Amino acid sequence: MASHDDCLLHVPFPGHPERRERLAAALAGAAAAGIPPLAVAVDESAVLRAVELVHEPSLADRLREACTRAPAVFDSPDNPVSTGTFSAAVAAVACSLAAVDAAASGSASTVFVAARPPGHHATRNRAMGFCFFNNAAIAAERFLAAGRGPVALVDFDVHHGNGSQAHFWERADVFYLSVHRYPFYPGSGAASEIGAGKGRGCTRNFPLAAGATDEVYTAALAAGLDELLRTVRPGAWVVSAGFDAHREDPLGGMGVSDDGFFTIGAMLKQASPESPLIAVLEGGYNPEALRRSVRSFLEGLIGVAIS
- Residue 115 · residue 40 · CB < 8 Å: no
Q: Where does 106-250 have alpha helices with state H?
A: 135-145, 162-167, 214-231
Question: What is the band of 305 on the pLDDT scale with cuts at 50, 70, 90?
Answer: low
Question: What is the band of 304 on the pLDDT scale with cuts at 50, 70, 90?
Answer: confident
Number of helices (H) and strands (E), helices first, in the chain? 9, 8
Catalytic residue among 4, 10, 55, 121: 121
Counting beta carbons within 10 angstroms of the beta carbon of residue 16, is it exposed (0 to 12), middle (13 to 18) or buried (19 or more)?
middle
List C-alpha distances in Å: 225 to 189, 237, 251: 17, 12, 26
pLDDT tens for each residue of 214-235: 999 999 999 999 999 999 999 9
Provide the pLDDT for residue 262: 98
pLDDT tens for each residue of 175-216: 999 999 999 999 999 999 999 999 999 999 999 999 999 999
> What is the model's pTM?
0.98
Active-site residue, 246 included: no
pLDDT tens for each residue of 133-178: 999 999 999 999 999 999 999 999 999 999 999 999 999 999 999 9
Provide the pLDDT for residue 6: 98
List C-alpha distances in Å: 295 to 25, 170, 239, 290, 302: 10, 35, 16, 8, 11
pLDDT tens for each residue of 90-139: 999 999 999 999 999 999 989 999 999 999 999 999 999 999 999 999 99
At residue 84, does pLDDT exceed 70?
A: yes
At residue 306, does pLDDT exceed 70?
A: no
Q: If you average pLDDT over residues 253-272, what whole number do you get? A: 98
pLDDT tens for each residue of 26-63: 999 999 999 999 999 999 999 999 999 999 999 999 99
Q: If you average pLDDT over residues 257-278, what whole number do you get? A: 97
**Distance from the Cα of residue 211 to its chain's centroid:** 22
Nearest-angstrom CA–CA distance, 179 and 158: 7
Residue type, position 74, single letter: F
Question: What is the band of 81 on the pLDDT scale with cuts at 50, 70, 90?
Answer: very high
Which domains does the chain show, CATH number per domain?
Answer: 5-302 (3.40.800.20)
Question: What is the band of 307 on the pLDDT scale with cuts at 50, 70, 90?
Answer: very low
